[in-house]
Structures are given as C-alpha cells and as structure tokens.
Amino acid sequence: MNVSIVICGVDEAGKGSVLGPMVIAGVGAKSSDIFLEIPVKDSKKLTPAARELLYSRIKKHCRIATVVIEAHEIDAFRHEMTLNTVVARGHADVIRMISPDIAYVDACDVNSIRYGQTVGEYLDRPCKIVSEHHADDKFPVVSAASIIAKVTRDRAITKLAKKYGDIGSGYPSDPVTVRYLTTYIDEHACPPAIARKSWKTVISMVARKEQSRLQKFF
C-alpha cells in the first residue's frame, strides 16, 4: 500500500501454547473507516472459515506485518527476559515494519500503561501507543490483527501436524495436545522439537518420565 499509515493494531496468537510458534501480527490502515466495510471482530469469536475470509479481505485492503517466534526461540529468550517482554519486543517489531502514527496494542501486562511504555522503548521512531486490555474487542484494527495472527498460527499448526501427527491446538488445556506430548515423551524420554521446553507442562512430564525410569532400578 502506497498510502500514509495512520493507525496500526497489534495482537498475538499462541502466547500460552506449549507446542508450536507464537505469531504476532500488525495491521495498518490510513483510517479506521476501512473497517466499516470489513466486519472484523475478536478472532476467538469467529469460525475458522470466517477468519480465512476476513484474512483475505484485510490483507487486500490493509498493510500487514507478522513476526513468527518458534518454540526454541521462545525458550532461548526466556533465559534472558520474561514472556511479556518477548511479546512487547514482537509488538514493537511489527509496529516498526508498518510505521504508523498511532498503534493500538492488546496489553499483555496486568498494568496496561506499563506495557505500552515497554513497547515504546523498543521503537526507533515516535509513535503514540494505546495499550489496553481486551483491545481486540475494543478496536477494530486490533481485531483485524488478531485475525491475521490467528490464521497465520493455525496454518503453522496444520503444517506441523502433517509432520508430527495430530498435535491438537498446541495448548496445554487441549487433551489432544497433552496426549501427544505424553506419548512422545514416554517413547523418546524427551520432548519434541516443536515443544516449548521451558513450559511447566513439559518440565513436569519430563520429570515424571525420569522418576519412572529411576524407580525401575529400585
């Protein structure tokens, strides 16, 4: 898009997932009026088919930017910083790519003002940051970003499933994901490459496997 980008919305998908990547997406537009024609809403409130349709429309009419952070990268980052800081840096990355005047971000910190300040610290040019909880419900441009992030991550999970089998949604609340992880660790005594090894879910599973192995010697 060869137009001045005034507003940008930023959201992520897969932050709490135990398998696969986290995707951070930014959507830029010259005006919020564009969303009078694109009926966006929080991606969690849409069917997969509706998200795919809206994804195409958003991509056609807006500028988008995505950052994909793989499981092993998240593990490495968490040796140096909190997960919220990882997300804030990713939010700043997509804002930098879009270069808007104002960026609306879905706050990942309990203190939304502090989170906005953190994002701003990683920017190299002036940009007003509006940081609020549930921004994907409040601002259509953030709803659009949530759709881009969700569709991008879902496609990544589908691709991983073709290689690793049925891994479910990748979230620790998903019984399919838990069953996949449990079976894999039982068979290999270590988590798969697509797992976030720093997650408590994985750490606990590996510890139980090790304890079971040691008990065989007593």
CB 107 within 8 A of CB 134: no
Q: Which residues contact 21 (CB under 8 A, 6 or more apart)?
A: 14, 68, 69, 70, 71, 153, 156
Q: Each residue of 13-57: pLDDT tens digit?
A: 999 999 999 999 999 999 889 998 898 887 888 899 999 999 999
Q: Each residue of 106-155: pLDDT tens digit?
A: 999 999 999 999 999 999 999 999 999 999 999 999 999 999 999 999 99
- Band (pLDDT 50/70/90 cuts) for residue 60 is very high
- Band (pLDDT 50/70/90 cuts) for residue 158 is very high
CB 138 within 8 A of CB 127: no
Closest listed residue to residue 21, CA positions, set 136, 126, 165, 167: 167
State the maximum Cα–Cα separation within the chain, in Å, rounded to a whole number. Answer: 71
Q: Which residues contact 205 (CB under 8 A, 6 or more apart)?
A: 181, 182, 185, 191
CB atoms within 10 A of CB 136: 29
Q: Hey, what's the torsion of the CAs at 85, 90, 91, 92, to 10 degrees?
A: 90
Closest listed residue to residue 57, CA positions, set 81, 74, 39: 39
Enumerate the H helices of the chain as residue ranges.
48-61, 71-77, 83-98, 112-121, 135-138, 140-164, 175-188, 200-215
pTM beyond cutoff 0.85: yes
Structural domains of the chain in order of their starting residue, each with its CATH number: 7-162 (3.30.420.10), 163-210 (1.10.10.460)
Q: What is d(CA 37, CA 172) in angstroms, rounded to the nearest whole number? A: 37
> pLDDT > 90: what percent of the chain?
84
